[in-house]
Amino acid sequence: MMRSRLLLPMIGLTLLAACDAHTPTRPVTDYERGYRDGASAARVIHGPIAITRASYGTWSRSCDATALVSGQASGKYSFRMTVTNTLCGDPHPGKSKSLDVSYSCGNQGKTASAREHDTLSLRCP
């Protein structure tokens, strides 16, 4: 008998919850609308390339190639260049070097790198 009394309220709550799931839609509140609009604005917006950093060299010796790469690539949707010492000199003679680039496409951050004498490719969809 005691068991029946305990199960009956639990069944009633379960049925009540199931009924609530099928209630007609209610108007969207200002809070919900703001949350939805904010979440929509946070989605990735694609745009042209914007260089944030470019470093050429080895892990121990490098030079800042940001201005040069930015001047050539910024504002484009795709960019390719051959990586050579003409970027900013030879920061570590006799060693294999690479160009490491951080850039953005709209609000989406990206990175790319290429070894000396290879081609660096940047692309924003």
The string of pLDDT tens digits covering residues 6-17 is: 444 444 444 444
pLDDT category of residue 68 using cuts at 50, 70 and 90? very high
- Give the span between the Cα atoms of 114 and 82, in whole angstroms: 9
User: Average model confidence (pLDDT) for the chain?
Assistant: 82
- Give the span between the Cα atoms of 9 and 50, in whole angstroms: 62
- Give the span between the Cα atoms of 45 and 117, in whole angstroms: 33
pLDDT category of residue 18 using cuts at 50, 70 and 90? very low
Q: Each residue of 101-110: pLDDT tens digit? A: 999 999 999 9
Q: Each residue of 73-116: pLDDT tens digit? A: 999 999 999 999 999 999 999 999 999 999 999 999 999 999 99
- Give the span between the Cα atoms of 13 and 10, in whole angstroms: 5
Residue 51 pLDDT exceeds 60: yes
Strand bridging mode 119-123 / 78-82 = antiparallel
pTM: 0.64
